[in-house]
Amino acid sequence: MAEVLTKASLVSSWRRGDGQQQYHHHRRVPKSCSLVSGVGKFPSLKLKSQIVRSSSSSSEFQGKKLVLHGNRGIPVRLNSRLRPSTGPQMNLRIGKVQKWWEKGLQPNMREVTSAEDLVESLLNAGDKLVVVDFFSPGCGGCKALHPKICQLAEMNPDVQFLQVNYEEHKSMCYSLNVHVLPFFRFYRGAHGRLCSFSCTNATIKKFKDALAKHTPDRCSLGPTKGLEEKELLALSANKDLSFTYSPKPLQPAHAPTNEEFSTKNAPASCSGSLPLASLTLNSEVFKERTLITSGR
The pTM assigned to this predicted structure is: 0.55
- Position 160 in a domain: yes
pLDDT value at 108 more than 60? yes
Which residue of the set 33, 142, 195, 270 is catalytic?
A: 142
What's the pLDDT at 35?
Answer: 43
**What's the structural domain count of the chain?**
1
33 in catalytic set: no
pLDDT above 90: residue 112: yes
Domain annotation covers residue 184: yes
Exactly one of 139, 150, 173, 219 is catalytic; which is it? 139
Report, as an integer, the average pLDDT of 57-66: 52
- Domain assignment present for residue 82? The answer is no
Q: What is the CATH number of the domain that holds 217?
A: 3.40.30.10
Q: Is the pLDDT of residue 171 over 50?
A: yes
Mean pLDDT of the chain: 72
**Per-residue confidence band for 155, with pLDDT thresholds at 50, 70 and 90:** very high
pLDDT of residue 220: 74
**How many CB atoms sit inside 10 A of residue 104's CB?**
16
Q: Measured in whole angstroms, how far is the alpha carbon of residue 30 from the centre of its chain?
A: 68
pLDDT at residue 136 tops 80: yes
Q: What per-residue confidence (pLDDT) applies to 283?
A: 54
For residue 221, the model assigns a pLDDT of 79
Active site residue 219: no
The pLDDT of residue 14 is above 50 = no
- Per the structure, the complete domain to which residue 134 belongs is given by 102-237
